[in-house]
Structure 1
Amino acid sequence: MLVAVSSGLEKVERLVAQLEDALDSEDREKDARTILRQTLIVRLPNSPESGSVADAIEALAAQGDAMQSLEAATLLRCLGRDAMVSSAREASIERPVVTIVERALPELASFCGAVQKRQTYEKYEVLKTVHGRAEETLAPFVNVPADLDAVLGARQLLARTLNNPLLKAYCAPSHLAQIRAGFEVVNNKLARLLKDTASLPANMMDCKQAIRDQLAYCEAHSNFLTKRYFATYLTIADAALEKFLTSVRGRFKAQIVPRLSDGGILQKRYPFREAGRQIKLSIPLRNLGPGIASNVTVQIEADPERFLFANEELLLGSVAAGDFSAVFNGEVMTETDAVVFLVSVKWDETGGSERQGVEFMATANAQRSDIDWQAQTYRRPYSTDVAKGDTFVGRVDKVQALGNKMLRTPMESFYVTGQKRVGKTSLALAAVAFAKEHAAEPGIESKYLLWGAIANADPAASLRELGTHIAEFIIDSFPAGVQTPALSFDGSIAALTRLADIAAKVRPGLKYVIVIDEFDEIHPELYQHGNLAETFFANIRALTTCENVCLILVGGENMPFVMDRQGQKLNKFVRVPLDYFSRDSEWEDFQLLVQKPSADVLEWHEDAIAEVFNVTKGNPFFAKIVCAAVFEDCVRERDSDVTGQEVRSAIAAQVPTFDTNAFAHLWQDGIHKPVNEREPDILRRCRTLVLVARTARRNLPVTIENLLAQKHGLMLPDTEIVPVLHNFVGRSVLRENQGQYTFVLPIFRAWLVEVGGSRLIADALGEELAHHVQAAEDEAFVQSNEIAALVRSWPTYQGREITGDEVRAWFEQAEGHRQQRLLFKLLQHLRFYGDVEIREALKTLHSFIRPSLPTFVIRKRTDRRSDVLLTYADGEGKSGQFYTSRYAETNGLAAKSIIAPYHFSEQVREKMGAGLKPAALLFLDDLVASGQSLARNLSRFISVNEVLLREMNIPVTALALAVTPDGDEMVRDAMGVFDWLQFDLRYVDIIGPREQAFGKDLGIWASQDEKERAKALCRDLGSLIYPHNPFGFGDQGLLVSFPVNCPNNTLPILHSPSRAEASQSWHPLFPRAIH
């Protein structure tokens, strides 16, 4: 029996679908003829009520028109089949068939050669072959192997097939254009699947969905082309996809586990002893991989009387293999020593049919609560001055070894050398202090002299000052009444030897230790070959022969150069090299360096100490600076527990604040030339470091080839780069491995990349910059402290904290620092709502509604109001549904008050039949931007449920967290049509010009030029995502994000990836949840 269908073209398409089913069955020839007859005459004004197929053909030829192309194509579909037309009548239908085809399918008649024939029977015979020729042409679609490479390999051949002129003319009525478009969509997504392996799970889901969509289209428009060929091809593609999935299923395996210590204890301690304290609580997790876990959700429960979460469920989206955290916002309700949580994590695996999950208990302990944070505000426990006494920490073995040299008789003089900032002076003074503490009576007297304090432009005058200071030091130890001879230090300090002999007589057993710091900074005439230098070093040698005198010389990398010139005279001096703390042999000392100064306030976890070491490589100067920054952050945040995360945050903020002088020794020291001859070498080193900075900023490996490519604007011959690099390697500034250079000191790399490259240009190379564009590029570089400050101010997105590395990776997808600066400026002005802010906004919205509601009496704690009907205008899983649930939870409304918009009237009538008296109807949404979607959905909802709404006669209110003025006007205008409805739109925030990237005025931009450059950039990048809406839905270009999703009216570059066929790939910072 034939199914009754609607009239017109839709009825013809339904009959064509039934005809295909009948033609597929050998025992339904009669049905096929009947359906064919109806197909041919269904749109005729005077169709015969009975008759044969031949009669229907004659009627169509007599009454039909050029619009009946589908009927003509269907007729050709059946001409070649036996028994469709009686052989006795075939001669009589030749002319009608030719008439029908030439009128409805003129291009086909031309392409198949029928027009060229003179005789009608000849034309008819040609037309009978059309369908067979079409099937031969389409055969490659059903012969593609079920292999992904083969499917993609056949793409060009099949695309040419779909563009075959005969096929285009014959199959146009059978939706060939739509099939061709669907074919391209599927193949683009399959190609992207193999190309973009980083997004494999998401791309796999896209491919599956695209195939499902096209199969649904084939089913809705069934004909020989869609059913026999395109649907078969799609089934082959789906099988190829499954085969590919099976081959890489191991790569998709995802297993999420907690990162907890034994007993399920969180490493981080929290200030749970402060009632009312707002806390971000981080649950550390790990995806063991190797695949991506998709649709990750994390739920958490705790005793709400102790700790109340702003939101107990986080939607994390897709999570790659590796460590990650779920960050929950909450408030301490009651002082407690610990909080126990029940955590449930669920996720999908690509290709997996079942949802995976893990559930575990976790305990977070409280921090100390006895710290006077106000008193710590002005405290500086990590001083970078020379460490003396108790402030010197670690290196006990070295201190004892050097102290023993002073405790011996005779004492052994020595000199300490190494890079600056490694604690040479502190070590020398600590050794002196050790020796003085352990020396036998009458003990040790010591004198510290900084060369800069006695330096003079005249080297002889410097020598005189040195002799005078040492003499006064020795004489001060003499007993009263001891007469000392007149001492002269003009051109020699030989008199000190005579004075030492006198001291040995008047203070027997007393030892004198003299420390001369910055000895490598002495005037060149005091160490270069010459009478004064020869005399000076001879005097020092003679002085060290005195058993009661020990000289300790301290100098940097230039010390070997000084000692080499006159070192033969000081062969009794022992060289003591000093480097960074060793992880293998001095780890405990380094731990003390980090922990001891703040032990009364901070609790340093092992990973935090390791993080300090990793970024400083054990350099004590920089380690103290990092620790000082951590201490300041902890005091500001009133957080006494330090993990690796706190250290990383402090480093990101601290590095750009370093002055050039903190690192200058790395390019200024170790030049074995007189001071006045060092400048050319320093300049070459600076230029080379600028090249290194430019290369590293572009995330390129530091190789000779890449350095040469960054040389624009610098007067640096190619031949000078390699020697400078070798010098840096020899001095342990850089490390070389197979032609690639890396930094020994990671914090130096961070500074150089962040700000150092630009500062070196400003300090030494500014006049040599030949290109103003390069100067602008360097100036526009986004520094880590800017990023750190921004991400610190942001809430979590989909339950995770956006890191500084993610922000940099996002804007570095653009070319050049100036473009990157424009993208960063967009982020700086992003209106980013947080969970706590959302919760307060939902309370505010309910305060608008509450006065109009009848009194609700709560008789027990579990009572919830149910007379406020809650629904949403958008679809399932969208923002409206999410915030409807949050609204009910936040404002104490019953969950059963939430009613899906589908079958709304039936559900409400059922509730009313059970005694419910609705008091209000609320629609929830996050943002009303253009207002088009909300206005359209509300209008549809009201039209469908008008009878019920008139009957209930209750206020209907749309509630939104934020609206634009245009969106507000659009919704109110649309609702004005329903003059019988008590409608209102209420909201908390208005999105203004500062939240629109490219509004009518300048907005966030400093000038019109900057605005136009940014707009052009966002248009180009946005076109990679949505060619027709590069600024987002409605081209509004909003700068708004919510904690679980980023609206589609926001700039697409923030929330969506590029299309598969785009000229370049683009990865979003705030990926939208896939529903």
Structure 2
Amino acid sequence: MHLTDKAFDTLDAALAQFSEHASTASMACEVLFGVKTALRELCPRAKSLSDAATLSEHVQAATESSEGIRSAALLLIRCLGVPGVLPDDDHAGGPHIQRKMIALVEKGTPDIAKIMRMDDKKLTFEKVELLRGVHTRLIELLEPLCKLPTTPSEFASRKQEVIKLLKNDLIKSYLNPYGLSEVGNSLREVQNSICKLLDVTGANFGQKLQDVVDTFEREKSNCGARNNFLYNNIFARFLSTVQNVIDNIDRESVGRFACIIRPKKMTPQLLERRYPLHEPDRLVRLKIPIVNDGPGIAVETVAQLATNANALLGTEKVNIGTVLPGEMAINVEILVGSPIKQVVIYTELSWQSVRSVERQSISFETVIAAQKVDIDWDELELSDPYSTEVAHGNEFVGRRRKVLALVNRFRKTRMQSSYVTGQKRVGKTSLAFAVQDVLQRESTLDEHIAVIYLEYGDYARKDADGTVEALGDAIAERLLADIPGEERPARVSFSGTLAPLNQIAQRLLSLYPQRRYLIVLDEFDEIHPEMYRFGALAEAFFSNLRTLCAKTNIALMLVGGENMPFIIGAQGDQLNKLVHEPLDYFSRSEEWDDFCELAKLNDVSPLTWHDSALVQLFSYTNGHPYYTKLICARIFQNAVADRDAEVTADEVQRALPALITSLDTNAFAHFWKDGIASGREEAEVTALKRCRVLVAIARARRRGLALTPENIVECRGTAALPGGEIVPLLTDFCRREILREKGREYEFVLPIFEQWLVANGMSKLVTDTLGDDMASALQSAEDQAYVSPPEIAKLVEGWPTFVDDA
């Protein structure tokens, strides 16, 4: 032990004995002798003094010493905390004893003098009284260490309080000679080990608990290394609390880590999935679902298996190991001999909990049924039931409410026009064909509705005037086909107008009062901007459409994507009679049956879809029909290859990675290219910026960061996209329902898009050089077009003063 440590411990032991027993004059003399001895040991200038020298002389020598002055001052402060130890008058202590003690403290421990506010304005006796209270104040500061709760969670919650306490200025200044550094390290070591133990939920809890016990015992043995009030009173009481905390953890862990394992369903449980047991010599891999009801984990879990059928188990013993609370499965392989209808597997499951040496066990039966045997797999290899092409007739599934709503509007006595909007690939065109199919199928002699369907490509021309003329010609050709040849007009001109269609419609009404016409204009949002932006052509075009759909025998159905809002925004007053029919993803709450029908395709697909598969599928696509079909097509492909018609969540999960790898940017390009109300050049720049934001999002996801604006800005990786532009772009993604905002974080509406973006899309969204050039050119043009204040001042410099004639 260091000389200073020994001096402090020896004197502290004497002070403790003096305080606990009757403070007699003889004991006071012994303690005073110990104080003078300690001062001579600590300070070189005091070594020459004899035992007969007064305390005043010892204090004076310590003050003048070049070494040990701080230790001497701290020793003196400690003694002043015990009444009756140090003489406080000149007769007993020597000349000017109080003033000299103050001088020693102010020189040796100026930090403590400052903390105790021993300024020059205070008298000597007042300063002495302040020093007498230092030790008592310190004990009060340390009291929380002695009264920590023994409840494990509450004890752990006081960790920061202990750390803050050890940083107190007075504690650090006063306790250093008493072993504060060692005690502080021990406090932190013990408390950290307990906090970490409380976070352990795995099979290593028992070992971690033993590590905590070992740490505690080691620190407890260190408690006897010093003999002073810090170790004997404070640290010892802290360790006593820790002992109670560890005992409580040990007791609570028995219930905390108890666990019960059982089969997922009541025995005998019939597996949700059926297996190809009808194929001889078929190796079948199956999963027996089990559940750990917790709350703890099971360790050293073992399953003993047996079967009663004409099947051979791959192994009769499965070492499962650790089973966390919740559901899991035992993977089993069986080799089918001759075809069988079912297999019964007998399972004996045994395990033990983390805090128990006794093993628990349970026995149950699992029934595995065979799949359908009448499936022509060779024929299915040539089929494509999940085609993503536009659906016609019976190929269209779901959307019953949408189809019925549109059909009913067109079948009213006064036909009601509509416009359909939605993202690309949500089935707008298929919906239009479904409406057409229903109307034509249900037409009668008394009520006949003819459908004229036109895509934008049917009448698109290089300019707006030519496009309007081609559209008029295309519609007129269909309408005029119903007018007898002798009554048809010789020539109809649609130069800059669709007005002649109104005369044709009126003539048809007079000839065939019961015959009506539905004009479907698909991809309507791709028309030339000059056709809907303010101008003479746009005003004439939409006035013609408004008048046309007001005819009793004519209705319009405009179908468009994300640019439709810009058209409605510009010409909404002309289209206010059209009813809006938005088309979105399948709703989980309102269109679940339609979604299931889309996946199952019961009329054309022999696959058996289980509920778990449908739920898993929806979690990937959020009901988007196009991506749902893509995953279903991959599942169908795998099923045909495996000759396995059952689809569970496992099959859906298996299909997704392969599908994501196969998809290119064209499968998702509309997410960053659509919904831009600009010309071609500006649209390219906006799409490029959107791509950069998506790349930044992918980087953030790869780094495991939350999708906050700050993290996305940090991950943008290029100065070409200023941080200030990212939030508006994110807001635009939210407006278009590509992203949605929750709190301060963003998330994808379409989960499969996020997975593709993170896995493959980030590397494929390479910066477009053309887009970069356009962005630079536009920025340069904007910079040149900017009119600065000096230019304005120069321009108006020669202007005459304005005079208001009024």
Conserved? CA contact 2:194–2:212, under 8 Å: no
Pair 1:430 & 2:430 matched: no
Aligned to 1:203: 204
Conserved? CA contact 2:483–2:508, under 8 Å: yes
CA distance in 2: counterparts of 1:609 and 1:269, whole angstroms: 16
Match of 2:380 among 376, 381, 387: 376
Aligned to 2:490: 485
CA distance in 1: counterparts of 2:769 and 2:638, whole angstroms: 34
Conserved? CA contact 2:193–2:212, under 8 Å: no
Match of 1:747 among 748, 752, 763: 752
| Distance change (3 Å), C-alpha of 1:238 and 1:341 | farther
- Residue 191 of structure 1 and its aligned partner are, at CA, apart by 6.7
- Residue 213 of structure 1 and its aligned partner are, at CA, apart by 12
Match of 2:314 among 310, 314, 320: 310
Aligned to 1:393: 397
Pair 1:608 & 2:613 matched: yes
- Residue 675 of structure 1 and its aligned partner are, at CA, apart by 4.2
CA distance in 1: counterparts of 2:500 and 2:732, whole angstroms: 42
Q: How does 1:332-481 map to 2 (within 5 A)?
A: 332-441=336-445, 443-479=448-484
The one-letter code of the counterpart of 2:358 is E
SS at match of 1:464: helix
- Residue 714 of structure 1 and its aligned partner are, at CA, apart by 4.6
| Distance change (3 Å), C-alpha of 1:261 and 1:377 | farther
Q: How does 1:108-257 map to 2 (within 5 A)?
A: 194-195=195-196, 200-207=201-208, 243-257=248-262
Aligned to 1:735: 740
Aligned to 1:498: 503
Match of 2:711 among 702, 706, 709: 706
Q: Deviations over 1:145-197 (max 9, x none)?
A: 999989x99xxxxxxxxxxxxxxxxxxxxxxxxxxxxxx9xx99997785376
Among all aligned residue pairs of Structure 1 and Structure 2, give the percentage whose two residues are the same amino acid.
40
| Distance change (3 Å), C-alpha of 1:585 and 1:477 | same
CA distance in 2: counterparts of 1:568 and 1:321, whole angstroms: 61
CA distance in 2: counterparts of 1:198 and 1:620, whole angstroms: 43
SS at match of 1:248: helix
The one-letter code of the counterpart of 1:311 is T
- Residue 242 of structure 1 and its aligned partner are, at CA, apart by 5.7
Pair 1:270 & 2:275 matched: yes
- Residue 353 of structure 1 and its aligned partner are, at CA, apart by 2.9
CA distance in 1: counterparts of 2:470 and 2:197, whole angstroms: 72
SS at match of 1:202: coil
- Residue 294 of structure 1 and its aligned partner are, at CA, apart by 0.9
| Distance change (3 Å), C-alpha of 1:596 and 1:479 | farther
CA distance in 1: counterparts of 2:197 and 2:525, whole angstroms: 57
| Distance change (3 Å), C-alpha of 1:644 and 1:714 | farther
Aligned to 2:595: 590
Conserved? CA contact 1:201–1:294, under 8 Å: no
The one-letter code of the counterpart of 1:428 is A
Aligned to 2:701: 696
The one-letter code of the counterpart of 1:588 is D
Match of 2:540 among 512, 535, 548: 535
Conserved? CA contact 2:197–2:209, under 8 Å: no
| Distance change (3 Å), C-alpha of 1:413 and 1:676 | farther
Task: Say what the alpha-carbon RMSD is for the aligned residues.
Answer: 3.7
Q: How does 1:1014-1025 map to 2 (within 5 A)?
A: none
* Structure with bigger RCO (C-alpha 8 Å, 6+ apart): 2
Conserved? CA contact 1:301–1:312, under 8 Å: yes
Aligned to 1:547: 552
CA distance in 1: counterparts of 2:467 and 2:504, whole angstroms: 19
Q: Deviations over 1:618-649 (max 9, x none)?
A: 11111111111111111111110111111111
The one-letter code of the counterpart of 2:427 is G
Q: Which segments of 5 or more consecutive residues in structure 1 lack a partner in the other structure?
A: 1-144, 154-183, 215-224, 226-235, 769-1075
| Distance change (3 Å), C-alpha of 1:756 and 1:637 | same
CA distance in 2: counterparts of 1:632 and 1:192, whole angstroms: 53
SS at match of 1:422: coil
- Residue 515 of structure 1 and its aligned partner are, at CA, apart by 1.0
- Residue 723 of structure 1 and its aligned partner are, at CA, apart by 1.3
Conserved? CA contact 2:346–2:364, under 8 Å: yes
Pair 1:284 & 2:285 matched: no
Conserved? CA contact 2:197–2:208, under 8 Å: no
Q: Deviations over 1:244-271 (max 9, x none)?
A: 2322333312222212378511111111
CA distance in 2: counterparts of 1:516 and 1:597, whole angstroms: 32
Q: How does the TM-score come out when normalised to structure 1?
A: 0.50
SS at match of 1:583: coil
Aligned to 1:979: none
Q: How does 1:904-943 map to 2 (within 5 A)?
A: none
| Distance change (3 Å), C-alpha of 1:188 and 1:656 | farther
Q: Deviations over 1:57-79 (max 9, x none)?
A: xxxxxxxxxxxxxxxxxxxxxxx
CA distance in 2: counterparts of 1:286 and 1:568, whole angstroms: 61
| Distance change (3 Å), C-alpha of 1:561 and 1:323 | same
Conserved? CA contact 1:189–1:206, under 8 Å: no
Match of 2:327 among 323, 326, 329: 323
SS at match of 1:497: helix
Q: How does 1:910-989 map to 2 (within 5 A)?
A: none
SS at match of 1:568: coil
| Distance change (3 Å), C-alpha of 1:424 and 1:357 | same
CA distance in 2: counterparts of 1:190 and 1:351, whole angstroms: 22
SS at match of 2:269: coil
Conserved? CA contact 1:382–1:597, under 8 Å: no
| Distance change (3 Å), C-alpha of 1:204 and 1:560 | closer
Q: Which segments of 5 or more consecutive residues in structure 2 lack a partner in the other structure?
A: 1-147, 163-184, 216-224, 226-240, 774-806
CA distance in 1: counterparts of 2:631 and 2:390, whole angstroms: 17
The one-letter code of the counterpart of 1:364 is I
- Residue 291 of structure 1 and its aligned partner are, at CA, apart by 1.7
Bigger Rg, which one: 2
Conserved? CA contact 2:688–2:767, under 8 Å: no
CA distance in 1: counterparts of 2:602 and 2:269, whole angstroms: 31
The one-letter code of the counterpart of 1:488 is S
CA distance in 2: counterparts of 1:212 and 1:346, whole angstroms: 30
| Distance change (3 Å), C-alpha of 1:237 and 1:547 | closer
- Residue 667 of structure 1 and its aligned partner are, at CA, apart by 2.2
SS at match of 2:203: helix
